[in-house]
Structure formats: structure tokens, C-alpha cells
Amino acid sequence: MTIRKIARMGHPVLCHPAAAVEDPTEGALKDLVLDMIETMADAQGVGLAAPQVYESRRLVVFHEIEEPSPDEEEAQEQAGAPLIILINPQIEILTDETIEDWEGCLSVPGLRGLVPRYTHLRYSGVDPEGHLIEREARGFHARVVQHECDHLDGILYPQRMTNLSKLIFETESRHWDMPPDDELV
């Protein structure tokens, strides 16, 4: 396993749609998945998309967390939350309702933004064994899925913002109603 370099906003790999994975069980993909999991853990992220490690393929990994906890001890337990590995993911939005919350991204270091996301969706894809994964998600879980899948379409969270005055440096987060140590994806 290798900790890979994380692409930052402005690199073209983050700006264009990623290619579908033709064979989810391919050996090289398993190495990529392991590297992504290690890279995500090292960066203390809760999600990572393949283009963020310069691999333009439709693959995301993320922890299934219902709601992030402001409590540090609980937050550490969240690192042990179920890990989802999703190849060629698809999203079906199940509501018109959106909610704004702060997001950060490992590819947009040092910033936070207030981003509207749908509150309820269904997602599907396959895992590296080729098994179908299908789940419903709400709240923070649904937010992470939308954020990660946006990476596969070349979209970063600032492009989803409706008010860029709420794009801030994390060092100024004390001026805003934001958890002190929120989750990066």
C-alpha cells in the first residue's frame, strides 16, 4: 500500500469526467483501492474519489457516517465506521429538499464552504468483487455520496455553492457556526 499524492483544485484531473471502470475485479484496481483507503486515512478524510489521486476512473471510497460528531472521542470511532468502496456509482435523488452545511475537501486544502445538498438519495454501484451495492442515504451520508460522486464528474464543491461569500479559510471558522474539526472529503 502506498500513500498517494492528492491532486489540488486547478489540476485538470479534477476538472473532467472520469472514465467508467470496465472490469471492477481487475487486479490493478484492488491496489488502487488499497492506496486510496490508506491515503484517505493518512489525510484524516472520510471520503476520497479516484481523480483525487490522479486516477481518472469512476471509483470512490468513503466511511458510512450518519452524522459527524463534535465529540472528539466519538469522532475517532467514526474512523472505524463501515467503509464503502463503490465502482461506477450512480445516484438517484429521492427528494426536492436540500440543506446547507459546511464542507471541506482534501483537494481544496485550507478552505470551507457552505454547500446545499439533497437530503435523501439512493446510490448503487459495484464493489471490487463485482457485487452489486445498493443503499439509501440521508443527511451527512447523502452529502458525502454527492460530494464524492461530483468528483467523478469533474465538479468541486465551490461549483455547488450558491453564495461564495460563504467560502472561507478554515482559520476563520471560529466566526461561523461550524464544528471545530469537521470532516474532509
For Ni ion, the closer CB: 126 or 148: 148
Residue of 18, 36, 105, 178 interacting with Ni ion (CB under 5 A)? 105
Cross-strand partners of 61? 48, 85
Count of residues that bind Ni ion according to CB under 5 A: 2
72 assigned to active site:
no
Listed in sequence order, the residues at least 6 apart from 149 whose beta carbon sits closer than 8 Å to its beta carbon are: 49, 60, 89, 91, 123
Residue 185 CB, shortest distance to Ni ion, in Å, is 5
**Interatomic CA distance for residues 100 and 98, integer angstroms:** 7
User: Which position has the grid cell 502506498?
Assistant: 2
Stretch that binds Ni ion, among 6-14, 88-96, 98-106, 127-135 (CB under 5 A): 98-106
Query: Considering 148, 170, 172, 183, which one is annotated as catalytic?
Result: 148
Please, what is the minimum distance in Å from the beta carbon of residue 45 to Ni ion?
Answer: 8
Closest approach of Ni ion to the CB of residue 46, in Å: 10
User: Which stretch in 13-21, 61-69, 93-101, 103-111 sits in contact with Ni ion by CB under 5 A?
Assistant: 103-111
Which one of 67-75, 85-93, 97-105, 164-172 is the stretch in contact with Ni ion (CB under 5 A)? 97-105
Strand segments, DSSP code E, in the chain are: 47-49, 59-63, 83-93, 98-103, 111-118, 120-126, 132-138, 167-169
Beta strands in 1-103 (DSSP E): 47-49, 59-63, 83-93, 98-103
Write out the DSSP string of 86-124. EEEEEEEE--S-EEEEEEB-TTSTTEEEEEEEESEEEEE
Residue 185 near Ni ion by CB under 5 A: yes
Residue number, 25 or 166, with CB nearest to Ni ion: 166
Q: Which residue is nearest to Ni ion (CB)?
A: 105
DSSP-assigned beta bridge partners for residue 115: 101
For Ni ion, give the closer residue by CB, 13 or 25.
13
Q: Give the range of 57-65, 102-110, 121-129, 165-173 binding Ni ion by CB under 5 A.
A: 102-110
Q: What amino acid positions are annotated as catalytic residues?
A: 148
Q: Which residues bind Ni ion (CB under 5 A)?
A: 105, 185
